[in-house]
A and B are shown apart, each in its own frame.
Chain A
């Protein structure tokens, strides 16, 4: 058969149509389908989650205990003594917590005060930048969270975090968990873990465990909403953040 231009163009057109149809369905079957997944009905939403800790209302180590216990029990955080300690929520002194606030002649009260420490869920998180597998990432609502399935235990994030908020599992943590919460996983040997601002509780419409246990001493809310309780608290009180000069822009504020 003699090929002329008209015949060639016809065949080329039909072939292109067929290719487009085939590629379309093939691409559709490979792309993830989001049409049948949704967030929880009553989940809490925010532009940027933040916390304000009213340090004036904590008087002794015992005041922190219920908060730390609530957190660690909820998330199956093991109690390991010594250097292999794993912690999500802990306390320290003023000078250790705020080494860049070198005020001379500090008031006696502040000098003896303890400060509740946790992941600061920075707006500019160094741990996210250094993670080679994107196991640590920042959600749209500002929470810096870990995908434990991806963590390879390289500990770059621990070197990157200026707040010591991250702990490494040097061993299987399960023998060190007194009472397992069956609704939440544990971790395995060789991964890093940290506070997740109770993302799993926010998804169910509940406030973080420490906030619930604090009876009003911690204020949690949306930093981007000027009407929110936390913004009111920040507007009315003098607050400081940990190591602000590093430019990480923490979302945890301390009312002094």
Chain B
């Protein structure tokens, strides 16, 4: 094999660089689902849909709510879960129960390193210190 040493050394460097994220994180704590602050039981015990649905689909739900309200002027949502009616509004519905953006929204968004731009315009509730 011509230049075997160089090729093998190159392959070792290449594999080392490609697997950098894996061995860099070896020994570090595994990802843990953040603990969210849920609304007190006397305020609400149930979200507009089931917790599993909200966890997986809230981004899609909020996108749909946005379009339905702004473009179609439909403002009332009927829950698929129990037929209850909710006003589709981030500020007037969601954040009336989830009163802390820091303790609810930000927990997962920070852990997952996503930065939704909701709060560029929408006003988050005052944080209680």
Q: Do these two chains really belong together in a complex? A: yes
Q: Residues on A close to B: CB < 8 A? A: 32, 34, 36-41, 43, 76, 137, 139, 145, 147-149, 180, 182-188, 199, 203
B123/A180 in contact, CB under 8 A: yes
Chain B, Cβ-Cβ closest to A204: B75
B66 at the interface (CB under 8 A from A): yes
Tell me, rounded to whole Å, the shortest Cβ–Cβ distance linking A177 to chain B.
10
Tell me, rounded to whole Å, the shortest Cβ–Cβ distance linking A39 to chain B.
5
Looking at chain B's contact residues, the main secondary structure is: mixed
- Given A38-B78, A39-B75, A187-B121, are A147 and B91 neighbors across the interface (CB < 8 Å)? no
Top 4 A-B pairs ranked by shortest CB distance? A188-B120, A36-B78, A37-B74, A185-B121
B71/A137 in contact, CB under 8 A: yes
A-B contact count (CB 8 A): 59
B43 at the interface (CB under 8 A from A): no
B73/A199 in contact, CB under 8 A: yes
B77/A32 in contact, CB under 8 A: no
B76/A41 in contact, CB under 8 A: yes
Tell me, rounded to whole Å, the shortest Cβ–Cβ distance linking B50 to chain A.
15
- Given A183-B92, A199-B73, are A37 and B123 neighbors across the interface (CB < 8 Å)? no
Tell me, rounded to whole Å, the shortest Cβ–Cβ distance linking A137 to chain B.
7
Q: How far is the CA of A41 from the CA of B87 in the complex (A)?
A: 11
Q: Which of A41, A76, A147, A183 contacts B70 (CB 8 A)?
A: A147
- Given A185-B91, A187-B121, are A40 and B75 neighbors across the interface (CB < 8 Å)? yes
